[in-house]
Amino acid sequence: MSRHLERLLQLDTLLRSSQWNTIKTLAEALEVSERTVRNDLAFLRDRYHAPIAWNRKQGHHYAESEWRLETIPLTQGELFALTLGARLLDACSGSAYHAVLQSAIEQLSRRLPEATWFDVQSLTEERFSLNAGASIQLDAELWQRLETACQRHQRVWMRYFVPDRNQITERQFDPYLIYLCRGNPYTIGYCQLRQNIRWFRIDRIRSLELLEVTFAVDASFDPKQYFAKIFQFEVGGKPQAVAIWFDATIANYIRERVWHRSQRLEEHGDGALTLHLEVSGMNDIKRWVLGYGKGARVLAPPELVALVKAEVQGLYQQYFDADP
């Protein structure tokens, strides 16, 4: 923000307040000369048609309290989208953006007519209920450092918790981007330890420091092509042709969404359907299919069929053959 714009916003706040303002008190509050204040008042009148008046009771003030400085030329629909978007980001990213979003929304509210702001706030708070699922808590400072590293192409050192091994590892990492998927925040980039592209869930990073080393993003890394290969989170391996049959009771739920850009639906006469995909990440598919219980059956590839069978056999043993 330019110094002039910042000063105009401060002057706008002072003129809107109930305190008594003279050229002298305004100059003292803004830490500028009285001549600068006069020039700024004239600028507001001439450029923005500000209804600035003066009397002995109020000093310099706005004669029309509803007038607003046009620093945010947004429609009410745009304001609603912005406010709702802020709440969605807050819900998805846990605590990482909470303080920043609160500050931004408060500043936005001060620049808008009270009636307009009240309508937008009421609509987003009373008519929309947001639930991103199980919440996560993110270290706001760590998140900020990671954002900085992505923007500056700066390598980081981090301590990362690996849950399936219950182990903390240390590594250097080149963060290419931050990726929010189904309420889970990831950073994707080049891991110096594994010498390959890797994902790391941000809430599992225990500590992170920026290094005095910059990096260049691998020229072969194309985010669109990269994400087109995966189903949810799991990466690695070549995309395979996947076929999953869903019975008539589940088929309508499958028709409701686009699960992957490669999908094709094969309809059957009894209301059932077969979903065809071309993806990698068989463990992700396995977990997703099991969520539909007996209403879904994997037909291909054989590797995925074997994964589901092994999981079902393990569940059967756990619930029926295990010693009480």
Q: How far apart are alpha carbons 177 and 223 in whole angstroms?
A: 9
Beta strands, E only, the chain? 52-55, 59-62, 154-162, 167-181, 184-191, 196-201, 205-214, 240-246, 264-267, 273-279, 296-300
Q: By CB neighbour count within 10 A (0-12 exposed, 13-18 middle, 19+ buried), where does 242 fall?
A: buried
What is the pTM assigned to this prediction? 0.53
**What is the domain extent for residue 110?**
76-126
Q: Are 215 and 148 part of one and the same domain?
A: yes
Q: How far apart are alpha carbons 96 and 140 in whole angstroms?
A: 4
pLDDT above 70: residue 124? no
Q: Name the token pair of 117.
A: 């702001």
284-302: pLDDT as tens digits: 899 999 999 999 999 999 9
Write the CATH number for 284.
3.30.70
Model confidence band, residue 49 (pLDDT cutoffs 50, 70, 90):
confident
Residue 156 lies in a domain: yes
CB 286 within 8 A of CB 269: no
Q: How far apart are alpha carbons 284 and 231 in whole angstroms?
A: 7
Give me the number of domains the chain comprises: 4
Residues near 144 by Cβ (< 8 Å), separated by ≥ 6? none
Model confidence band, residue 324 (pLDDT cutoffs 50, 70, 90):
very low
Q: Are 216 and 180 part of one and the same domain?
A: yes
Residue 229 lies in a domain: no
